[in-house]
Amino acid sequence: MSAIDDLPPLREVIRAHGLSAQKSLGQNFLLDLNLTARIARGSGPLEGATVVEVGPGPGGLTRALLALGARKVIAIERDHRCIAALNEIAAAYPGRLEIIEGDALKVDVRPHLDGAEARVVANLPYNVGTQLLVGWLSTDPWPPWFSSLTLMFQREVAERIVAGPDSKAYGRLAVLTGWRAQARILFDVAPSAFVPPPKVTSSVIHVVPRAEPVPCALRDLERVTEAAFGQRRKMLRQSLKSLGVDPLALLSETGIDETARAEEIDVAGFLALANAFGRARGGGTGDAAGA
């Protein structure tokens, strides 16, 4: 019998610990252990893996990760009410679940990894999910401490993460993601799978960091994509004026048509523009730290 069989059903855990879902904490719980196992498996084989889970809540996904063989799960949960429920799981899997009570936006998980390669697997709170992803993709130095990110987002946000040029969903998030990683949608999850059900469909995405992304200063890429997508209907010769350098010089240096709009420029084009902007404003290129 595996340890998962010794734990009470999740509905009982939620009742016993008074874990009524709170909207302010983005709480939509997954109680179907087949689904949580599918999400866990989406991150790849778990035998021997170290996993960082953000927002374990009552622990449905945490249980799946451990039952499928993760060597260690480091779970960061902000809601104090969930800690007792998570301690029960920790007791069922001795030495394999470390619980950190805190805000994942503020916790530096690196000292907890003991140098092990780790992956992130999470059903993220929708209100801070994008902010967490941007933080992970902005990690310095690069390559980052994680080998992959397997994350649940609202479908609309997942589409903005994986989008390519010439689509409505393509924007700053897709350019940042495409620069540093390869991302794809694994599968959709219907609202009815959650308690309480959200209004929209969700998607699980899988993000794998690139070993050697094109050198670029993060801040320059941010500035250029902010200017370009901030006025996405305008031609770049107009929208890039807000950068305070000659937009025509940037566009001619990078061989990009001055009448093009942000949506038409691929990730390589934005990286070329960001590096040209870095040189024009007198900064260095290849300054991946984004200083």
Ligand X SMILES: C[S@@+](CC[C@H](N)C(=O)[O-])C[C@H]1O[C@@H](n2cnc3c(N)ncnc32)[C@H](O)[C@@H]1O
Q: Is 154 in the site for ligand X (CB under 6 A)?
A: no
Judge whether 132 and 144 are in contact, CB under 8 Å: no
Spell out the residues 6+ positions from residue 240 whose beta carbon is closer than 8 angstroms to its own: 224, 227, 228, 247, 250, 251, 273
CB of 202 closer than 8 Å to CB of 155: yes
CB of 114 to ligand X, least distance (A): 21
Q: Which residues 6+ apart lie within 8 Å of 121 measured at CB?
A: 39, 40, 42, 43, 51, 52, 53, 61, 65, 150, 151
Residue 129 interacting with ligand X (CB under 6 A): no
Would you count residue 99 as binding ligand X (CB under 6 A)? no
* Position 156 contacts ligand X (CB under 6 A): no
The single residue among 7, 13, 14, 30 that binds ligand X, judged by CB under 6 A, is 30
Applying CB under 6 A, does 288 fall inside the site for ligand X?
A: no
Tell me which of 7, 13, 14, 28 binds ligand X, using CB under 6 A. Answer: 28
Q: For residues 175 and 214, what is the distance between their CA atoms, to the nearest angstrom?
A: 12
Looking at the Cβ atoms of 84 and 268, the one nearer to ligand X is 84
Q: Minimum distance between the CB of residue 34 and ligand X, rounded to whole angstroms?
A: 13
Q: Which of 16, 91, 105, 268 binds ligand X (CB under 6 A)?
A: 105
User: Which uninterrupted H or E stretch holds 10?
Assistant: helix 10-16
Q: Which of residues 49-78 bind ligand X (CB under 6 A)?
A: 54-57, 60-61, 76-78
Q: Does 13 bind ligand X (CB under 6 A)?
A: no
Least distance to ligand X, CB of residue 264, Å: 35
Which segments are annotated as binding site for S-adenosyl-L-methionine? 28, 30, 55, 77, 103, 123
Which segments are annotated as binding site? 28, 30, 55, 77, 103, 123
